[in-house]
A and B are shown apart, each in its own frame.
Chain A
Amino acid sequence: GNSVTQMEGPVTLSEEAFLTINCTYTATGYPSLFWYVQYPGEGLQLLLKATKADDKGSNKGFEATYRKETTSFHLEKGSVQVSDSAVYFCALSGETSGSRLTFGEGTQLTVNP
């Protein structure tokens, strides 16, 4: 079946530091890949997505590239802000699972001023 593995957290950074959150997946065929973000007390919201190999999703300074050869979709941001503090979830929807999402464990990011 489908699965998603995220780097262990939590992650604590200083403002303006570089961020990487690793995500690898297992799926048959060509899944679509997503990063969702959950701010404190809120539901999840889509941050970015990529639907085929070598696609780069980007939004709000965050980027992630769909790497078929390494089955990875790592999230990066060059300079984090305090307002980026949140829980980040990597997820996939498979060719046979339609729009049903399989999530990683989530990574808590805290950015200190």
Chain B
Amino acid sequence: KAGVTQTPRYLIKTRGQQVTLSCSPISGHRSVSWYQQTPGQGLQFLFEYFSETQRNKGNFPGRFSGRQFSNSRSEMNVSTLELGDSALYLCASSFQGTGNTGELFFGEGSRLTVL
């Protein structure tokens, strides 16, 4: 099976711009989660989607949003970029059967630099 694929792998933006990141989960996985990884904070949960519905959201401002499509692919968007948004954004997919906190399968991440 192909792993979790994230695009783009690297991108540079300037303050005030917006960015869209994409994630294709492992085939058959219906849950997609997004995490922000920074050296000081580690991994911080952004949101989780299952069958096109957001089931949980982390403590991030409304500038961070996401969605999931019917084929389970997911996108996240960050608007009005700030310098502090520079980070590695990780996507993870999971099978997530009923009542199961499943293993997360991570992508390689999208490294965003905001200048």
Answer yes or no: are A and B bound together in one complex. no
Give residues in B with beta carbon < 8 Å to A.
none
Q: Which residues of A contact B (CB under 8 A)?
A: none
